[in-house]
Homo-oligomer: A and B are copies of this chain.
Amino acid sequence: MGFDGSEGNGLFADLYELTMLRAFGECGMNGEAVFSLFVRHMPDDRNLLIACGLDEVLAEIERFRFSPDDIDYLRSLGMFPERFLDGLRQFRFTGDVFAMPEGTPFFPDEPILEVAAPIGEGQMIETLVLNQIGLQTLLASKAQRFVGAASGRQVADFGARRAQGFDAALKGARAFAIAGVSGTSLLAAGARYGIPVTGTMAHSFVEAFSSEAEALAAMMRIYPRTVLLVDTYDSLQGVRNVVDLAQNLGSDCRLTGIRLDSGDLDALSRGARAMLDEAGLAHLKIVASGGLTEARIETLVRAGAPIDIFGVGTEMSVSADAPFLDIVYKLTEYAGAGRMKLSSLKSTMPGRKQVYRQEIDGVAVQDVIACANEACAGTPLLQQVMRRGARLNSTPAGLSDIRDQAARLIGEMPAELRALAPAGRAYPVVVSDSLRSETQALRARLVSGMAAC
| Chain A residues near B (Cβ < 8 Å) | 1-6, 11-20, 22-24, 26-27, 29, 33, 35, 69-70, 73-74, 77, 79, 119, 123, 126-127, 130-132, 134-135, 138, 158, 160-171, 185-188, 190-192, 197-205, 207-209, 211-213, 218-219, 222-223, 226, 231-235, 237, 241, 261-263, 314, 317-320, 323-324, 327, 329-331, 334-335, 339-344, 346, 446, 449-450, 453
Contact = CB atoms under 8 A, between A and B. Distances in A.
A279 to B, nearest CB: 17
Given A199-B14, A201-B19, A323-B318, A161 B188 contact: no
A167 B2 CA distance: 12
A199 B331 contact: no
A1 B6 CA distance: 9
Contact of A331 (B158, B203, B334): B203
A233 B2 contact: no
Which of A11, A138, A187, A212 has the most B CB atoms < 10 Å from its CB? A187
21 contacts: A4-B170, A12-B166, A14-B160, A15-B187, A15-B199, A19-B226, A23-B205, A23-B218, A33-B208, A73-B187, A131-B160, A165-B166, A166-B167, A207-B331, A207-B340, A207-B341, A212-B453, A213-B453, A231-B343, A232-B341, A323-B323
Contact of A27 (B130, B204, B218, B340): B218
Contact of A185 (B14, B187, B201, B261): B14
Contacts of A164: 135, 138, 163-165, 167-168, 318, 323-324
Given A160-B131, A162-B130, A199-B19, A14 B186 contact: yes
Contacts of A123: 202, 204-205
Nearest to A334: B208
Contact of A16 (B5, B79, B127, B200): B200
Contacts of A318: 164, 318, 323-324
A340 B233 CA distance: 9
A207 B330 CA distance: 10
A22 B186 CA distance: 17
B450 A237 contact: yes
A201 B16 contact: yes
Contacts of A169: 12, 131
B160 A262 contact: no
Contacts of A161: 14, 126-127, 130-131, 134, 329
A246 to B, nearest CB: 16
B207 A15 contact: no
A234 B2 contact: no
Contacts of A74: 187
Nearest to A197: B15
A82 to B, nearest CB: 15
Contacts of A1: 5
Given A237-B450, A318-B318, 6 more contacts: A11-B188, A14-B161, A123-B202, A126-B161, A164-B167, A165-B167
Nearest to A335: B208
A208 B19 CA distance: 15
A190 to B, nearest CB: 7
B20 A202 contact: yes
Contacts of A218: 23, 26-27
Contact of A11 (B187, B201, B319): B187
A162 B160 CA distance: 19
